[in-house]
Structure 1
Amino acid sequence: MTVSEQHRTEIRTETATYTVEATSLPEARVAVDVSAAGPQGEPVADGHLELDAAAAATLANVLAKALRSAGALGRTGARRPGPRPAHQGQPWSPTLDEDLERRWLAGEPVEAIAEAFGRSPGSIRARLPRVGCDPEAPGAYLPDPPSRREVTAMNP
């Protein structure tokens, strides 16, 4: 009696539908079929492998590494296009914090502040709460956190 087992995975993305099927074969072998279809059903990938079942786990690791590497081809390594802000990753000083607070309370937009500081808009938004400003409300402070409120004696 021959026992056959098959596993199928289908993953849909915005640009394609990927299908991977692994099927056990007689004599401790495995067949792996890979295919992908674009948004209109046009084929964008197709492949077939047969291998010893004992090598399947190793091949899976090798393919995963190779595909991650291939996916990185053509990338520059930067997360966003264009040059990095001039002061990205540099520490903040008390003087910079005071200037950030002053500019925010004066109503300057995040993008203008970021350009003046040579930093990204995201880093400005992340720094605002550290100087007590509300990044969701231009020109406003955050409410006083409990740690900064004066402790008042409770009347018995």
Structure 2
Amino acid sequence: MSGVAATFAAMTIIQEHRTEIRAGDIQYQVAVITRTDGGEPDRVTITVGGERTDGEPVAEGRLDLDVASVPTVAELLGTSLRTFAGGGARRRPRSRPARQGQPWSDEMDAELEARWLDGASIGDLARHFARTPGGIRARLPRVGCDPERPGNHLPTPPSLREAEEGVD
């Protein structure tokens, strides 16, 4: 093996991802580093630090993990830290409307159309039907209403106009 090939075969590759953020007067850093000796990485080193603007440390630590354990440890840390901080497990930031995701009945569709044509706003309809504004906007065309023009039906597409007028 030549000297160049021997040097290349023994090369160590380091992959590193660093993130820094400032929260108030504290600068936080997280570094995730993997090292390989020509193959796939088998270990990950995570370092965490944080210090105030006057240099006082508020966070420091290091984890050395097997690559296969990273997803499990990440979930464990996230859940544990949110619980400790009073956030509990992941949760939705606000409550869902009571009927969000539930099927629409023919009667509800007819009422939606009638209320839209009477000038009800998207917000009013969302509250009345216990749905999200996005859900109302998505449903309006299905009942023939134009969500961009309050109080109006969708125009009849050209392909159907001839049939309505009786032209063959």
* 1:49 paired to 2:63: yes
Aligned 1:1-156 pairs, distance under 5 A: 3-11=11-19, 18-23=30-35, 30=43, 32-35=45-48, 46-50=60-64, 56-67=66-77, 69-70=79-80, 73=83, 74=87, 78-82=91-95, 84-145=96-157, 148-151=160-163, 152-153=167-168
Structure 1 runs (4+) deviating above 6 angstroms are: 12-16, 40-44
1:99-151 Cα offsets, whole Å, 9 max, x none, are 11111122211111122222222221121111111222222222334664445
Which whole-Å CA distance do the structure 2 matches of 1:147 and 1:36 have between them?
Answer: 65
Which whole-Å CA distance do the structure 2 matches of 1:34 and 1:59 have between them?
Answer: 16
Q: Which amino acid aligns with 2:94?
A: P
Which whole-Å CA distance do the structure 1 matches of 2:93 and 2:31 have between them?
Answer: 30
1:77 CA displacement: 5.6
1:58 CA displacement: 1.7
Please say if residues 33 and 45 of structure 2, whose CA atoms lie closer than 8 Å, have aligned partners that are also in contact. Answer: yes
Change (3 A) 1:61 1:131: same
Change (3 A) 1:94 1:81: same
Q: Which amino acid aligns with 1:9?
A: H
Q: Where in structure 2 are there 5+ consecutive unaligned residues?
A: 1-6
Report the count of equivalent residues.
Answer: 145
Which whole-Å CA distance do the structure 2 matches of 1:21 and 1:76 have between them?
Answer: 28
Task: Give % identity.
Answer: 39
What is the TM-score of this pair, normalised by structure 2?
A: 0.61
Q: Where in structure 1 are there 5+ consecutive unaligned residues?
A: none
1:23-78 Cα offsets, whole Å, 9 max, x none, are 459xx98461323669x899775432346xxxx22222322332454476425765
Change (3 A) 1:37 1:123: farther
Larger radius of gyration: 2
Change (3 A) 1:87 1:49: closer
Of 118-127 and 16-25, deviating more is: 16-25
